[in-house]
Structure 1
């Protein structure tokens, strides 16, 4: 990357922070090249992103993406689902409010708090299973596979009324959907299978309705089709499944990595001098589970952070960069420090969004992560990585931000970092 040259987004992902720092040094907004040479922009600075996320002349609807509208984006483009899936993430105005209201009934403060006993019970069971996996694995277990993944997947699927037989397949397909280095044939196949799987979920709930979000959405669809179309029903389920577990999976994984690398911070919270909620918020800021989220489009030419953004440009929301923006978070923004809130130096992060598209499941993600981390480290305070951090393989995406595996020793062990 040379000065003035658009940054080419690496489809394979990788750790975003070094690139983010270099790009932020250029400015809060930068031109990027998306997969297949599609030109775009990324908003990286905290204040610029905050403004962009609520700007009245910025929209989410795919009709505002000229290359897509004109047929220049192929079916197998790895980011196409983000741009086209019918639902809240591609709706604006009254349509967005209608869809959000329908899905929001599952995420009220009362309903989320009512899930706490279920989250507690599932966490305890998964910790038992993780300990068993470590015992049979020479003292090492993949915490991401045995704990960080099945917790949010189990909770969101219970909310949706998705039978357990679909859980593993839905995670596999979700990881394909958010991957940015997937080939076109695999991308098309994954999206088709995801559609078939969700249609099977809908068919099961139509045959046997329950007290779950899918049944409620079906009722809204079947009783008054004007409230929800069939594609919107499937699109909403896709969003709930993917966002409902991938984000929390990455959040828990990143928090464990951060605490293992910063034992002084872990000691603060174990000693009661900081709260587990502080760990969650600092992880969201310092190592956002979503790095670059697609897409928003200016509906007219804009200038943001001193940089022009032409009308119709597909724009990434750079959450991981904004989280370490020194202009917002101070000169030590690159330091993991869970005492920021107590010291009054914390600046509210944007990692769960901002404005009308703020993450609907944020209260649930915070609940799951807080319970998971507290139970995990209370039971295994000596837990540590079983391999150096540098050897952990990254998720193949510049959208998601985490590692694919997290081998740990539950009772510690020497690791050369």
Structure 2
């Protein structure tokens, strides 16, 4: 098969992501794509993607392994996704060192301790929604899906309550693939300024929060580390925590509520006990993962593909999770949302050494939000036809611009 074919130009507004994902899968296990001017191999075959995510032939360190790095940092709107210095962009020993430092901050004990915090935030938001009159419409992405993870990640990191909205706007910019390089660079600069303010505040007033813990934490003395996080690693690790813990959970709650309201039979499975809220979360993560494509990885050596093509050393690789999750070789009837599936395996949290450390927290927030929302508003319904819900204009973020819901019929 020929190596040199014109790449598929991914739509930055993602106006029909499902059709685009089908087009990518039709090219085979991988497809050449153009993502905002950068060429990469989009990997949509789940078996190959898992193999690449666990092997040593693929790196996330663009500084060391991507010839296009310098140019991308200067001109690419998604430069922050490849230039940040944290475990998301680390490789080998650097990644192991950073992950060991960060992992205790998201331990099972710390996550379990957040359960009453999550429930309290959810209950407070639902109390606010109770003020919506019967027949009235509530915008759930704005009033429920957004503020939940903002409050939780703010509590976890020690972000002052009055700064949560500021962080939200700047994190939105990180996921916005419609920004110009200049707009993206300005957004990144403002975001880093806020992170620097947070670090300075926690240094002066340490508390029982993730930011304070990371400032104080040391890697294990085992020959590969032992030093504290550098200043750049510290702020980029906090950046990773905010990005990973915020936008993704917004989309999970958004997509789960949307899908249940458009598939009442699936909601009936949960209410009858044939499925659990955890089943809803896992099937949502498979069917509509919060992140469609995750930039970028790089080939450390030539990677021969089964069809005769080769990903050459130094070429960029795009993990296309949404397309892989619905691959027809992985799940029967993959486009159907079915909470009773026996196997709901997915790649929404990544795979292998870069598996998301915050997965347990995201699942906790999702289950708590969904169970509590549908207990409080059992008759909720979409206020517009499902086909009128507009997707987020992003190659990365997989959610809706808004989610208008009628919480109670007017007759109630």
Alignment TM-score > 0.5, same fold: yes
Match of 1:160 in 2: 157
Spell out, residue by residue over 1:118-140, the C-alpha distance to the aligned partner (whole angstroms, 9 max, x if none): 111110000111232x339x611
1:317-396 matches, within 5 Å, as: 317-330=319-332, 332-341=333-342, 346-396=343-393
1:137-286 matches, within 5 Å, as: 139-220=136-217, 226-286=227-287
Spell out, residue by residue over 1:48-70, the C-alpha distance to the aligned partner (whole angstroms, 9 max, x if none): 111111121100101211111xx
Rounded Cα–Cα distance in structure 2 between residues aligned with 1:121 and 1:366: 16
Rounded Cα–Cα distance in structure 1 between residues aligned with 2:83 and 2:73: 12
Rounded Cα–Cα distance in structure 1 between residues aligned with 2:151 and 2:103: 19
- Say which SS state the counterpart of residue 71 (structure 2) adopts: coil
Q: Give the total of aligned pairs.
A: 401
Contact 2:249 2:365 in 1 (8 A): yes
Is 378-387 or 285-294 further displaced after alignment?
Answer: 378-387
Rounded Cα–Cα distance in structure 1 between residues aligned with 2:40 and 2:26: 19
Match of 1:410 in 2: 407
Extract unaligned runs of 5+ from structure 2. Answer: 219-224
Spell out, residue by residue over 1:285-336, the C-alpha distance to the aligned partner (whole angstroms, 9 max, x if none): 0111100001110111112353421211221111101111110112x11100
Extract unaligned runs of 5+ from structure 1. Answer: none
Displacement of 1:72: 2.2
Match of 2:26 in 1: 25
Spell out, residue by residue over 1:84-107, the C-alpha distance to the aligned partner (whole angstroms, 9 max, x if none): 101011111221122112221121
Rounded Cα–Cα distance in structure 2 between residues aligned with 1:381 and 1:259: 11
Displacement of 1:76: 4.6
Contact 1:29 1:305 in 2 (8 A): no
Match of 1:50 in 2: 50
Rounded Cα–Cα distance in structure 1 between residues aligned with 2:391 and 2:186: 23
Displacement of 1:7: 1.0
Displacement of 1:390: 2.1
Instruction: Indicate how the Cα distance of structure 1 residues 328 and 391 shifts in structure 2: closer, same or farther if over 3 A, else same.
Output: same
Instruction: Indicate how the Cα distance of structure 1 residues 74 and 104 shifts in structure 2: closer, same or farther if over 3 A, else same.
Output: closer
Instruction: Indicate how the Cα distance of structure 1 residues 40 and 140 shifts in structure 2: closer, same or farther if over 3 A, else same.
Output: same
Rounded Cα–Cα distance in structure 2 between residues aligned with 1:74 and 1:100: 24
- Could you say what the CA RMSD is over the residues aligned between the two structures, in angstroms? 2.0
Rounded Cα–Cα distance in structure 1 between residues aligned with 2:285 and 2:386: 19
Rounded Cα–Cα distance in structure 2 between residues aligned with 1:124 and 1:393: 28
Instruction: Indicate how the Cα distance of structure 1 residues 347 and 392 shifts in structure 2: closer, same or farther if over 3 A, else same.
Output: closer
Match of 2:311 in 1: 309
1:78-93 matches, within 5 Å, as: 78-93=77-92
Contact 1:48 1:305 in 2 (8 A): no
- Say which SS state the counterpart of residue 31 (structure 1) adopts: strand
Spell out, residue by residue over 1:251-307, the C-alpha distance to the aligned partner (whole angstroms, 9 max, x if none): 110111110111000011012221000000000001111000011101111123534
Give TM-score, length-normalised by structure 1. 0.92
Rounded Cα–Cα distance in structure 1 between residues aligned with 2:96 and 2:360: 19
